[in-house]
Amino acid sequence: MKTVGIIGGLSPESTIKYYQWLNQGVNEKLGGHHNAKILLHSLDFGEFVKLKSQGDWDSQAQLLVQAALSLEKAGADFIILATNTMHKMADEIEAALYIPFLHLADATADEICSQNLKKIGLLGTKFTMEMTFYKERLQKKGLEVLVPNAEGRDIVNTIIYDELCHGVVKPASKQAYQAQIKYLEQQGVEAIILGCTEITMLVDSKDATVPLFDTTRIHVNKSLEFLF
């Protein structure tokens, strides 16, 4: 079994799921007392929130590259980044490493394409929904990507940062997300990507009439394939 290096802490809520699900997946495969071999470099989410508010992506990239290199030096066989938005700096991370970097959006796109779906809704932070770094990875796989309108994007983003990243789940916020899911369904999407690792705290398949693709689960499953 290989060792996975996780760049985590962005936010801690999502990192917990990665750690838990990776260990569960290995135990399901090997049984007994087996669990995943994991190296975790957990960063301070507050530093990144501040840098994002300043538009300073270069400093964020430097912090992520340093974390990735520390994991490589410690013996990781491949690296995953336990957050969607920070994949904006995926190219810088990949360029610095000798070992593989498993990209979350690529894994998600491959899973969607395997089910012959084309028109996809995307929920996530405003950075993920509005910038090109994430959508372009999906579009290169032949997917058409739709996002909520400006007001909807503000709602989705605010709930992520003000509530979900702190482990807070409110019924009113669940209703707000259900409304955004319904909006995307009315635009004719065939499925919706939960493109933030915390969104699954709030909604699940019962909240939609189309399939929901949980990027955290997909990323973990792809990582489990790499481990063996």
Q: What is the DSSP track for 69-93?
A: HHHHHHT-SEEEES-SGGGGGHHHH
Report the pLDDT value the prediction gives residue 11, as an integer from 0 to 100.
Answer: 86
Q: What is the mean pLDDT of the chain?
A: 95
Fold for the domain defined by 3-103+217-227: Rossmann fold (3.40.50)
Domain ranges of the chain: 3-103+217-227, 105-214
Residue 197, pLDDT > 90, answer: no
Phi, psi (deg, nearest 5) at residue 106:
-65, -45
Average pLDDT, stretch 170-178?
96
Sign of the torsion formed by the C-alpha atoms of 105, 169, 35 and 65: positive
Clarify whether 196 is annotated catalytic.
yes
Determine which one of 196, 197, 215, 216 is catalytic.
196
pTM: 0.91
Determine which one of 83, 85, 128, 216 is catalytic.
83
Distance CA 36, CA 92 (A): 27
Q: How many CA atoms lie within 13 A of 109 on its CB side?
A: 17
Residue 22, pLDDT > 90, answer: yes
CA 4 to chain centre: 16
Confidence of residue 198 (pLDDT cuts 50, 70, 90): confident
Range name among 114-118, 141-145, 197-201, 221-225 with the lowest pLDDT average = 197-201
- Report, in angstroms and rounded to the nearest whole number, the Rg of the chain calculated over CA atoms: 17
Residue 71, pLDDT > 90, answer: yes
Q: How many CA atoms lie within 13 A of 66 on its CB side?
A: 8
Q: ∠ CA(77), CA(52), CA(127), 5° rounding?
A: 80
Report the pLDDT value the prediction gives residue 13, as an integer from 0 to 100.
Answer: 86
**Are domains 3-103+217-227 and 105-214 of this chain identical in fold?**
yes
The pLDDT tens digits of the residues spanning 84-111 come to 999 999 999 999 999 999 999 999 999 9
Burial of 66 (0-12, 13-18, 19+ CB in 10 A): middle
CATH architecture of 105-214: 3-Layer(aba) Sandwich (3.40)
